[in-house]
């Protein structure tokens, strides 16, 4: 995995792949960092292939990013992607593991719901503002809508701060099954 850490308010594709690796290792009862080792044994190779393909197909993460996290070259990622369809179609263990990891990632997102103290839209807005360095701009003309289960809130910002505000909100809500939209 990476040695350096990025700005804590920015979620990256690297973070997404790292979460997938952790989930796959737990699901397959593998020690931490085992998918990142340069080992080709069946018990490690198959989950590595699955994580790579989930990152490509589900999240559309670039080959280089996946290769960086898995500590392999891009050629391996290209190969995993090329063989995915045949593996999924004919290799039962691969298909079952792929489906299990996709479900586990989805369950992980769903299980990270906002705690029970947040029951209203204003509570959701306060949660976002308290957990980020965002200052809402009431004169701004850009609205970032956050929907989480039955809750909905809008964060108002201006064009200049829009990009950094959106990244901070994405990072704050990255562990939740939230939908973020932008309107002008």
Q: Which of 55-59, 60-64, 105-109 has the lowest mean pLDDT?
A: 105-109
Task: Identify whether 135 is part of a domain.
Answer: yes
Task: Identify whether 82 is part of a domain.
Answer: yes
Print the domain residue range for 130: 121-183
**Count of domains for the chain:** 2
Asked if the model's pLDDT at residue 1 lies above 50, the reply is: no
Neighbours of 119 (CB within 10 A): 12
Per residue in 16-40, is it b (16+ CB within 10 Å) or e — as a string? Answer: bbbbbbbbbbebbebeeebbbeeee
Q: Which of 55, 78, 111 is the last residue of a domain?
A: 111
Neighbours of 64 (CB within 10 A): 12
Are 77 and 153 members of one domain?
A: no
Q: Give me the sheet containing 178-183, strands edge to edge.
A: 151-157, 142-148, 178-183
Asked if the model's pLDDT at residue 4 lies above 60, the reply is: no
Task: Identify whether 160 is part of a domain.
Answer: yes
Reported as a single tens digit per residue, the pLDDT across 112-139 is 655 556 788 888 898 888 877 788 888 9
**Residue 58 or residue 87, greater confidence:** 87
Supply the pTM of this predicted model.
0.63
Are 31 and 50 members of one domain?
A: yes
Host H or E run for residue 162: helix 162-172
Are 18 and 99 members of one domain?
A: yes
Are 174 and 93 members of one domain?
A: no
Could you tell me the CATH number of the domain that includes residue 37? 1.10.1750.10
């Amino acid at each position: 995995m990476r040695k350096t850490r990025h700005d804590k308010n920015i979620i990256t594709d690297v973070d997404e792949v790292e979460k997938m690796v952790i989930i796959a290792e737990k699901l397959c009862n593998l020690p931490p960092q085992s998918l990142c080792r340069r080992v080709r044994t069946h018990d490690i190779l198959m989950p590595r292939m699955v994580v790579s393909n989930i990152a490509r197909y589900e999240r559309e993460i670039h080959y280089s990013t996946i290769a960086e996290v898995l500590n392999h070259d891009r050629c391996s990622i290209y190969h995993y992607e090329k063989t995915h369809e045949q593996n999924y179609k004919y290799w039962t263990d691969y298909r079952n593991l792929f489906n299990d990891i996709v479900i586990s990632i989805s369950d992980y997102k769903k299980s990270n719901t906002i705690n029970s103290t947040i029951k209203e839209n204003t509570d959701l807005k306060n949660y976002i503002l308290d957990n980020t360095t965002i200052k809402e701009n009431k004169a701004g003309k850009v609205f970032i809508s956050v929907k989480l289960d039955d809750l909905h809130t809008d964060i108002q910002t201006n064009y200049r701060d829009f990009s950094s505000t959106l990244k901070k909100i994405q990072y704050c809500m990255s562990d939740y099954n939230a939908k973020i939209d932008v309107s002008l």
